[in-house]
A = this chain, B = another copy of it.
Amino acid sequence: MGTTQLESVPEPKYWHLKTVIGEALDSDFAVGEILPNERELAARFGVARATLRQALEQLELEGRLQRRRGVGTTVAPPRVGVDVSTTQHTWPGVGEDTWQSVDSAAGTAPAAVARLLEITADEPVHVVRRLRVTEGQPVAAELLYVPSGSVPGLGAVEVPGGVDRARSVLRELQRLALDGQDRSVELGSARADDARELDRLPGAPVLVVTTRYLSEGGTAAVSVATYRADTCKLTFGDSGEMVMAS
């Protein structure tokens, strides 16, 4: 006797906890069901609350739990598949109801975006803010950067920021010939403003989808879309509109 465990490679407690709780979620809980609170769970497993939280954080990262301050921890539904394929070859905002224009204003692009647009950081751009809603839930917040040079027809318009202005920018953009687009996906953490629109806390993990719209040999616009990583699965259909099983 003496040794409590024979594990030659001791597994961290939170890792083991995550496994145990994960299995319990499969067998003993239904989607939407509320878990015991963190203090009770920690006591039940005989660990400090911080350790328990580390396990819950991982499960939330994997989309299996949802935690809301002041409410509790619930079992999350399977991730929603949101289509972000590039097969349509269309400008943003054509015949779609998935994206809602929120507003638009004149401004400048952050350095990384300016580089993609092949402009300098102080050149004026139209910034269009849109929100993607699926099944009643906001899943993504987007900032669309359109250099003034891409939509010269908008030069004289002086609509104060708002939905109408956003629609005008999109309309002007759609006049251009779209040559192609490319896209990248990376992990990020939600900025304060995006987090608010996505009903998450700042710093929440998000999937950042950066799209470059190409026209006449150059980059006519760049979209930076921030998807909730906990609830979303991005799908890239290739053959027709195949939908992945959940």
Contact = CB atoms under 8 A, between A and B. Distances in A.
A237 B203 CA distance: 28
A142 to B, nearest CB: 17
A184 interface: yes
Contacts of A203: 15, 18, 58
A62 B188 contact: yes
A184 B63 CA distance: 15
Interface in A36-82: 58, 61-63, 79, 81
Contact of A63 (B62, B182, B186): B186
B239 A181 contact: yes
Contacts of A238: 86, 89, 180-183
A214 B189 CA distance: 34
23 contacts: A58-B203, A61-B189, A61-B205, A86-B236, A180-B238, A180-B239, A181-B239, A182-B237, A182-B239, A182-B244, A184-B234, A184-B235, A184-B236, A185-B233, A186-B207, A186-B232, A186-B234, A187-B187, A187-B229, A212-B242, A214-B239, A214-B242, A236-B236
